[in-house]
Structure 1
Amino acid sequence: MTSAPDRIIKQRDIIDRTALADKIEYIVAEDGPQRCRPQILELLQGALADGRAEIKRRLGESPSQGYRASAEQAFLVDQIVRLIYDYVTVHAYPAANRSASERIAILAVGGYGRGEMAPHSDVDIGFVTPYKRSSWTEQVVEAILYLLWDLGLKVGQSSRSLDETVKMAQQDLTIRTALLESRFVWGDRAVYEEAALRFWNEVVANTAPDFVRLKMAERDERHKRMGDSRYVVEPNIKDGKGGLRDLHTLYWIGKYIHKVSTASDLVHVGLLSVEEYNRFRKAENFLWSVRCHMHNITGRAEERLTFDLQREVAEQMQFADRPGRSAVERFMHYYFLNAKTVGDVTGLFLAHLDEAMAQKGRRFIPSFNRKPRKLNGFQLDRGRLALPNVQFFVEDPVRLLEIFHLADLHGLEIHPSAMRTAQRDARLVDKAVQKDPRANALFLDILTSRRDPETVLRWMNESTIFGRFIPDFRRVVAQMQFDMYHHYTVDEHSIRAIGLLADIESGKLKQDHPLSAAIMRNIVSRRVLYVATLLHDIAKGRGGDHSVLGAQVAETLCPRLGLSAAETETVAWLVRHHLLMSATSFKRDLADFKTILDFAQAVQSPERLKLLLVLTVVDIRAVGPGVWNSWKRQLLSDLFEATEEVLRLGHKQRGRDERIASKKSKLGSALQLSPEKFAHFAKTLPDAYWIAEPDDIIERNARHLLKNEGTELAIDACYYPDRGATLVTVFAADHPGLFYRIAGAIHLAGGNIIDARIHTSSDGMAIDNFLIQDPLGRPFREQGQLDRLARNIEEALTNRAKLMTQLDAKPKALRRADAFKIAPSVLIDNQASNRFTVVEVNALDRPALLNNLALALFESKVTLHSAHIATYGERAVDTFYATDLFGAKIESKTKLKSLETRLLEAATVRARVKTKAA
């Protein structure tokens, strides 16, 4: 159990307990012990508010002193608890001759017991009595708790006898951990000391290995729950990987085994070196600073460093903008470096622990029985790669690469002491090593390994060898991308992409990526693809187009790695164009043949097309969980297949007329109508419809139209698994503004349109197909959801005023999206299509954005033919294929300018109620 922290300066400026105690005595004397509670509560409320204000003021003056602020907060609560206890036991419920059972010790447990609290942390306290609770102790405990609650404190409390305390600690790991950090606050010290003695003798004794195993399993489960990476861009400061809880776990383990009273004692018992402890304390202080600022800003116990908080905390901690990097990006870069330090210290701590426990015959990390191998001077220590002496890397710095190559080649782990030495000697990787052909060959073998390159590259990154050997990579280590799209830092994203590439090649992801898996078996330039994947984002954060700058890096680095001139050219091309395929697939109409031709002209070779597809797939999937879906897979596959046909044959194998005829033939066979009736039906559908829609949607549309023949409005909604979305078809009399009303109705039903195709039959009926997902990128599947979609659309098309009112009443965007400033832009291109004017709008995503843009198009008197909606976190990119009212491209400069102005206004203003339009 823990002693109180002794690191508070000018304590009485925070709270003067003696003076407050005198005031309480005066109030009791004036009003009597039974009527003075309101005045005492008011006095304590003022003292708590003043104390918090003083701690906040000190943190504002020294914004990086979070560790001190956490101790001051615990000190403040200590004094409040002591004042309350004295008032309750002396005045509210005095007991002149207390029995042996009428004794209470108040213990601070958990973080409060450690003497560390953020401004709005829970107050975790335990009431311990020697025996079963008496009526007096129950009254006292209840009175103390009610006063704490009335002060607005969130209290986690327990009330147990000594026997109950021991029994519960033996059975429950959480209770045992809380008591491990318990600290005497006030009351009967003898009871506390007996509790401490029994805890160590009856709970802790001979259970250290079991405790370590359980705490490490608990840690691993917590990491999985929080994203299993210390490089997520909205990290949980307390419980996330690389957060405060990881440091606490080290302290708990050290305390449990060696009974240390402070984290600095971990040095004395050999679990951390002095240098490692200093890194421990520096990281802990930074994380506490961030956490305290977060609590102060939000006014609550907020532990997740969300985007909106990142800006404010960066400002509070006095980070400033620098050329090419904003203050918030510099702050988050520093955060991730500290999170990495937490990981480094954890690994070293566990290595020391493993060695110490192994010497006692109680191994924590399991040993490995492997046969000796040819290891070029390296040794095996319990199945892990180790060094024969501490100068081994100094003798030949290329060995700093070789150790990772051997680990990959033989499937070995690296001994923590060898990893520590590698970190120490990383400075030996100078320009001579960078240019060494042997070193470059070793690195390229690791990068292109058919085993587990992701794990080994991550080890290299943790040891800093990676960044030393590839200086351009070092510039993106711990670099966040301040947006809601990317979930990881740039280095973590790139390493994850390499891992995904290896998994696709090995067949592990064949079910998710059948086309990419097939391509990987046939590509000629395998190592080109791995190098391009590593380098695709390597120039981020340099203030220019990272694709162009990255290609320049590739042109310099690839020859050093041993790639030929042809391979270097291909890598540079892939890096320069790594966003081209996704941009074309998600933002352009793939049914417009000009799109395919322009893309094919940019790619130029089937091999490049294959490489670009696989690179695009791993780039998207490595962004984070939930970003990849079957809709994106289908679009990329469609673009690949159409482009591959053009590149292989020099033209489309089947011309426009042949494709239309083929689709009509398939539909005729499926419907089994009379030739006359089918011919009449097929004639009403425009050629663009047959080109744009796939066979299965054409058949579903046809059955829907035939079933509702003669009606003016028919709506069909179904789950469409091939695209991971919901397909909504609207069959209605065509009229201006139909699209924006449908878009508004879908928004009100909670749906996001991801793709839209708008067609008009020869008899004046609109056949509009929409692909829809919920805000989390999932399809609507339940019948109730599908019915609500259809009902909302029907109401919108028959009662327009109600739609506009409902849209205006919709809640505003979430605050975290407001942390981003995106200047809306409108790009109008008359060259991207032979038939349409292509309009692309970039804007901050928000509710009803598409509806507002569609309304602007309607007011500009343009006809919409298809819409393609892509979102990248907080950024929306909506592309429209449009013509004027006569079906021609929009050529008038005046009209184009007016269209641009209206769309910019719609992209800027959240909602517009237009009575006339309604």
Structure 2
Amino acid sequence: MPLADRQVAQARAALTAARASRASELDTWLADLLGAAAPEGDGPPDGVALAAVGSHARRELTPGGDLDLVLLHRGRADISAVADGIWYPVWDSGLRLDHSVRTADEARAVARTDLKAALGLLSARCVAGDETLVSSLRTAVQADWRADARTRLPDLARMCRERWQAHGEAAFLLEPDLKEAHGGLRDVHVMRAAAASWAVPAPDSSVMAAHDVLLDVRHALHEATGRPSDRLVLQEQEAVARALGLPDADALLRALAEAARTITHASGTLWRAVLRRSPAGPAARRPVGDGAVEQDGEVVLARGADLDDPAIVPRVAAAAAQAGLPLAPATVAHLASRAALPSAPWPARARDALVSLLGAGPAAIAVWEDLDQAGLIVRLLPAWERVRNRPQHNPVHRFTVDRHLVEAAAHAAALTREVARPDLLLIGALLHDIGKGLPGDHSTAGAGLARSIAADLGFSDQDGAVLETVVRHHLLLPDTATRRDIHDPVTVEAVTAAVSAVPGRERETVELLAALAVADGLATGPAAWGAWKAKLVAELARRTIAALTGGTPPPLPVPSAGHLSLARHDGAAVRVTGSHITIAAPDTPGLLWRAAGVLALHRLAVRSARTLSADVGTAVLDFTAVPEYGTPPDPATLEADLRLMLAGRLDVAARLDRRSRSRRVRPGIPVPPPRVTIVADASTTATVIEVRAHDGPGLLCRIGQALDSRALQIRAARVDTLGAEAVDVFYVVDERGEPVAEAEALTGIRKHLQEALDASS
């Protein structure tokens, strides 16, 4: 064992021995006080017992802990005098005392109505006096606890949630409350109480080992400060680390974070099991994604899920997060031990699944933690090990580096409508501080690392360069906006120069930096972000974008030789090759939405679509579509339905309507509202409409129907799904083949399309 480890073990063993010795000394002293308080003379009075609850009952009382005692009796008239003979000496000693005097029946009645009293009495220990009085009370309280478990455990869960809301998560706070925060000592005590109901198993050895770490930290904190506070403030951390034999405060905080995360994760699993037993009953089993189904309120692997698919882990995680559900512990363990993982460069489906996971916003945090606890995050992203549990050295930050990055991505998910590339925003948010822990400036160090990770994830070289720029300059807008005159042209020139690393994508980079500044600030804490800074950053970004040229939608797709060959067929042609579907047909109104509707009927999710004119009167539709879940449809059946649609013999709208009415939709995560934008001056031959929305079954079909209902014909379209976000651009013309020019008509189109999307979101 290395010296440092031996030092830690010796220091912790000394603390454990000190608590045990103190418990014995207190027991002896309290027994003497009870004996001396007896009017009868020496020895404890008849029909009286002194019981310890709380930390002294568990022999875990730290130097600053409260002494919780209950004086039980069998109806003695002189019990007040007995109590005074105990309480006053305890107070005189300087110990903090929480006390009560009750008969066994009174104590039992209180426990049935007071959760905190019940938690203490479940593990009451006789210190002195009538031991049968204590044991019979404890047995009765435990029996009541089990009998009332169906109602009391949900009440206890609500009490825990309120405490967590007030105190935050111990693992990720820079100054955690060791007892009351989520993942603190109180959670283990509550988990043991829940196990006493026989509804759930007791905390396992890993949880109890984590509990002992926190208990030793609390003990060392009380000794170092001489105060009873349980908050590990920054100025005390070095002293506590030395008392535990650790090299520095960073080592202390990382050990504490690891222990608290273990407790938090186990606590979450336990409470999900408890609430599944509540009167609300289990959730119905239903598919939530490819290879994933919901079962009893958790996401599990579907039967026949392909564990050899390198995208299986991020895909199942994304399905859980998008549905707002946790991953079942057994599923996480199975994925960790059996599932294939993507190797560099990641396949597109794995990268899209990671983006979809992050795009779930706050719901992604718990799923990310499930994967992290199983060791899957560092296997998916090896660079994550450096920032995992790493404390911040700036008190403005609320969280450790790793949690801050996940929080930033969660906040970025609400801003995906603000940028042209939501996937780059989400990945940029996840990686913006990845350089912390490396020598030198973390932005510079992290930029190169981000470029390397982008390549591993399968992003193009250009996208990797954009991510590198975003990470390098993620503080550019907030720092410049708050330190320079944003009305000075020189300020704007400095920003435009910084974002010029990727020619042609300067505007996109500024959009990403502006959104990331918001997400980063919100994830850091209220001291780092406010209305004043937000206004300055937004104005600087606006001025910079105004100074940049370009920023128009991507160019229209150009037909390939294969498209032209297909278009030369008489009538119509359909080709289905794996996930690639190509249609060449007469360019009739509604062609796009009807084709997309057929794909939706076959439970195919459109990942990309291109529509283009191959010749006068002929349109080519090029789709990439993957199954929503399960196996792909039979290509011959899909092709046959597409041909029926082209021949006018398939009522797509009616079948979609029937499917919509029969589809049971479980509420998922809240997502930003759809956004429809008319892009002025983007084309001289068509009106350009941009749609940003959360992807879902039949989205493209609904957009096409809305455009068709306004007598608009789609001349060309670029449709892309990035993670779970649809980024679509449509070039439309009116019945005369002309762009829509009237401002009132344009407003009506935008409003109509917005209403159609809002109604279905």
Asked if TM exceeds 0.5, the reply is yes
Contact in 2 for aligned 1:73/1:116 (Cα 8 Å): no
- Relative to structure 1, the CA distance from residue 117 to residue 425 in structure 2 (aligned partners, 3 Å threshold; closer, same or farther) is farther
Q: How far 1:333 moved relative to its partner?
A: 1.3
- 2:257 is equivalent to residue 336 of structure 1: yes
- 2:188 is equivalent to residue 247 of structure 1: yes
Q: How far 1:171 moved relative to its partner?
A: 1.8
Specify which of 146, 149, 165 is matched with residue 208 of structure 1. 149
Aligned-partner Cα distance in 1 for 2:58–2:345? 47
CA displacement 1:799-820 (0-9 Å, x = unmatched): xxxxxxxxxxxxxxxxxxxxxx
Specify which of 219, 222, 225 is matched with residue 292 of structure 1. 219
CA displacement 1:539-584 (0-9 Å, x = unmatched): 1111222111211112212123232222111110110111111211
**Residue of structure 1 in register with 2:515 after alignment:** 614
Structure-2-length-normalised TM-score:
0.65
CA displacement 1:677-732 (0-9 Å, x = unmatched): xxxxxxxxxxxxxxxxxxxxxxxxxxxxxxxxxxxxxxxxxxxxxxxxxxxxxxxx
**Residue of structure 2 in register with 1:87 after alignment:** 36
- Relative to structure 1, the CA distance from residue 612 to residue 64 in structure 2 (aligned partners, 3 Å threshold; closer, same or farther) is farther
User: 3-state SS of the aligned residue for 2:70?
Assistant: strand
- 2:313 is equivalent to residue 400 of structure 1: yes
Q: How does 1:524-673 map to 2 (within 5 A)?
A: 524-590=420-486, 592-604=488-500, 605-647=506-548
CA displacement 1:415-462 (0-9 Å, x = unmatched): 232123334558x64x74774554334323433458954454344334
Q: How far 1:617 moved relative to its partner?
A: 1.3
Q: How does 1:721-870 map to 2 (within 5 A)?
A: none
CA displacement 1:230-249 (0-9 Å, x = unmatched): 31111110111111111111
Residue identity opposite 2:319 in structure 1? L
Specify which of 105, 109, 131 is matched with residue 167 of structure 1. 109
- 2:331 is equivalent to residue 382 of structure 1: no
CA displacement 1:834-881 (0-9 Å, x = unmatched): xxxxxxxxxxxxxxxxxxxxxxxxxxxxxxxxxxxxxxxxxxxxxxxx
**Residue of structure 1 in register with 2:328 after alignment:** 415
- 2:77 is equivalent to residue 134 of structure 1: yes
**Residue of structure 1 in register with 2:404 after alignment:** 493
- Relative to structure 1, the CA distance from residue 541 to residue 282 in structure 2 (aligned partners, 3 Å threshold; closer, same or farther) is same
Q: How far 1:95 moved relative to its partner?
A: 4.8
- 2:56 is equivalent to residue 112 of structure 1: yes
- Relative to structure 1, the CA distance from residue 442 to residue 639 in structure 2 (aligned partners, 3 Å threshold; closer, same or farther) is closer
Q: How far 1:94 moved relative to its partner?
A: 3.4
Q: How far 1:108 moved relative to its partner?
A: 0.2
Contact in 1 for aligned 2:409/2:426 (Cα 8 Å): yes
Contact in 1 for aligned 2:358/2:413 (Cα 8 Å): no
Q: How does 1:186-585 map to 2 (within 5 A)?
A: 186-201=128-143, 203-228=144-169, 230-257=171-198, 271=201, 277-320=204-247, 327-350=248-271, 362-363=277-278, 366-372=281-287, 375-376=290-291, 378-387=292-301, 398-408=311-321, 410-424=323-337, 429=341, 432=343, 435=346, 438-448=349-359, 452-505=363-416, 520-521=417-418, 523-585=419-481
Contact in 2 for aligned 1:65/1:289 (Cα 8 Å): no
- Relative to structure 1, the CA distance from residue 455 to residue 121 in structure 2 (aligned partners, 3 Å threshold; closer, same or farther) is closer
Moved more, 637-646 or 179-188: 637-646
Structure 1 gaps of 5+ residues are 1-57, 259-269, 321-326, 506-519, 650-918
Structure 2 gaps of 5+ residues are 1-6, 501-505, 551-761
Aligned-partner Cα distance in 1 for 2:108–2:218? 33
Specify which of 159, 181, 185 is matched with residue 127 of structure 2. 185
Aligned-partner Cα distance in 1 for 2:347–2:496? 39
Aligned-partner Cα distance in 2 for 1:365–1:473? 39
Moved more, 625-634 or 121-130: 625-634
User: 3-state SS of the aligned residue for 1:294?
Assistant: helix
Question: Which structure carries more relative contact order (alpha carbon 8 Å, separation 6+)?
Answer: 2
Aligned-partner Cα distance in 1 for 2:349–2:159? 42
Aligned-partner Cα distance in 2 for 1:145–1:217? 34
**Residue of structure 1 in register with 2:90 after alignment:** 148
User: 3-state SS of the aligned residue for 1:125?
Assistant: strand
- 2:36 is equivalent to residue 123 of structure 1: no
Aligned-partner Cα distance in 2 for 1:159–1:399? 59
CA displacement 1:283-312 (0-9 Å, x = unmatched): 111111100000001112120011011111
Residue identity opposite 1:287 in structure 2? L
- Relative to structure 1, the CA distance from residue 365 to residue 484 in structure 2 (aligned partners, 3 Å threshold; closer, same or farther) is farther
- Relative to structure 1, the CA distance from residue 213 to residue 578 in structure 2 (aligned partners, 3 Å threshold; closer, same or farther) is same
- Relative to structure 1, the CA distance from residue 556 to residue 367 in structure 2 (aligned partners, 3 Å threshold; closer, same or farther) is same
Residue identity opposite 1:178 in structure 2? G
Contact in 1 for aligned 2:49/2:130 (Cα 8 Å): yes
Q: How far 1:197 moved relative to its partner?
A: 4.1
- 2:23 is equivalent to residue 74 of structure 1: yes
Q: How far 1:401 moved relative to its partner?
A: 2.6
**Residue of structure 2 in register with 1:103 after alignment:** 47
Contact in 2 for aligned 1:380/1:386 (Cα 8 Å): yes
**By percentage of residues, which structure has more helix?**
1
- Relative to structure 1, the CA distance from residue 207 to residue 549 in structure 2 (aligned partners, 3 Å threshold; closer, same or farther) is same
User: 3-state SS of the aligned residue for 1:124?
Assistant: strand
Q: How far 1:65 moved relative to its partner?
A: 5.6
Aligned residue pair count: 539
Contact in 1 for aligned 2:142/2:196 (Cα 8 Å): no
Residue identity opposite 2:220 in structure 1? H
Structure-1-length-normalised TM-score:
0.55
Aligned-partner Cα distance in 2 for 1:474–1:210? 42
Contact in 2 for aligned 1:441/1:562 (Cα 8 Å): no
User: 3-state SS of the aligned residue for 2:102?
Assistant: strand
Q: How far 1:279 moved relative to its partner?
A: 0.8
Aligned-partner Cα distance in 2 for 1:480–1:280? 22
Residue identity opposite 1:296 in structure 2? E
Task: Give the superposed CA RMSD.
Answer: 3.1
Q: How far 1:626 moved relative to its partner?
A: 4.5
Q: How far 1:647 moved relative to its partner?
A: 3.4
CA displacement 1:724-761 (0-9 Å, x = unmatched): xxxxxxxxxxxxxxxxxxxxxxxxxxxxxxxxxxxxxx
Aligned-partner Cα distance in 1 for 2:435–2:32? 59
Residue identity opposite 2:459 in structure 1? L
CA displacement 1:43-71 (0-9 Å, x = unmatched): xxxxxxxxxxxxxxx99952366555443
State percent identity of aligned pairs.
Answer: 26
Contact in 2 for aligned 1:559/1:568 (Cα 8 Å): yes
Contact in 1 for aligned 2:177/2:184 (Cα 8 Å): yes
**Residue of structure 2 in register with 1:13 after alignment:** none
Q: How far 1:399 moved relative to its partner?
A: 2.5
Aligned-partner Cα distance in 1 for 2:547–2:43? 98
CA displacement 1:746-783 (0-9 Å, x = unmatched): xxxxxxxxxxxxxxxxxxxxxxxxxxxxxxxxxxxxxx
